Copies of this chain bind each other. A is one copy, B any other.
């Protein structure tokens, strides 16, 4: 199975990297850019037959290792779901 995990900063958490990218885009002439937020996109290939159990496992992995639950939130997507 293949899964995608999207990790993004929670609302209200400052994103200095996104701010820097926005400024650079303005300098390149893209004045129409209002906001940029940088997140992580994690692709995971794993063994498993029960989609529900696999999604639960992926949520556990995200909580324990892939995201920082204090400042980040995540979304898990299983391919073909």
- Residues A40 and B42 in contact, CB atoms below 8 Å apart: no
Q: Could you say how many copies of this chain the assembly holds?
A: 2
* Majority SS at the chain A contact face: strand
Q: Which residues of B are found within 8 Å of A8, using beta-carbon distances?
A: 41, 43
Q: Determine the interface band of chain A, counting residues with CB < 8 A from chain B.
A: 20 to 34
Contact of A61 among B30, B35, B43, B64 (CB under 8 A): B30
Q: Which residues of B are found within 8 Å of A40, using beta-carbon distances?
A: 38-41
Taken together as a complex, chains A and B put the C-alpha atoms of A54 and B35 apart, in Å, by 15
A25 at the interface (CB under 8 A from B): yes
Q: Which residues of B are found within 8 Å of A42, using beta-carbon distances?
A: 21, 36-39
- Residues B21 and A66 in contact, CB atoms below 8 Å apart: yes
